[in-house]
Amino acid sequence: MKRHHHKAKYVATPQKPELEITSTSDIEDDETVALSSLEDSDSDIEGTSIGSIGNNTLTVPMHIPEREKLALNMVPRELIYQYEEYRSDESNMAAFFYTILGAFFGVLINWATSDPIVISKTSIIIELILLVFIIVIGLFTYRFNRRAKNKKSEIDNLAK
């Protein structure tokens, strides 16, 4: 059984936009099928185009928004890199936070499931240390989260 891979390409001209599907299968020559042309209008264009590739009939539901809705807003690449770096920092801190939180609850579960219940001075000290780490790392996680949200807001404001 041959697998057919099709690549859709939208060709936009003011007179008649077309949807083209190019076959990149094992057929000797690539087939290009221009599906039914659409009239350009002021409102959204909706419809169904029918074409054929080889022996297969293809039906493609289409919804092309108004030209204004297709506009791209550009932002500096550095802002995107900074945003991804901030999200990475937040993700790392959150992972560390939840690991320490799990350790804290692990000691509590150990206390609750031991028979007889033995709460040693060492385990209390470990719990207090873990609690301090939870608070400090939780604050850092919150700070990194706010920093990432602020950078996202900055990108959103530039994109308007």
Q: What is the pLDDT of residue 3?
A: 44
- On whether the CB atoms of residues 92 and 80 are closer than 8 A, the answer is no
What gap in Å lies between CA 76 and CA 85, rounded to an integer?
A: 15
Q: What is the pLDDT of residue 53?
A: 58
Q: What is the pLDDT of residue 115?
A: 83
Cβ neighbours, 10 Å, residue 142: 14
Regions of the chain with pLDDT less than 50: 1-49
Beta partners for residue 85, in sequence order: none
What gap in Å lies between CA 27 and CA 114, rounded to an integer?
A: 70
Q: What is the pLDDT of residue 56?
A: 64
Q: Which of 141, 151, 143 is nearest to 84 (CA)?
A: 151
Q: What is the pLDDT of residue 6?
A: 45
Q: What is the pLDDT of residue 58?
A: 65
Q: What is the pLDDT of residue 147?
A: 95
pLDDT digits (tens, 9 = 90+) for 109-143: 998 898 888 888 999 999 999 999 999 999 999 99
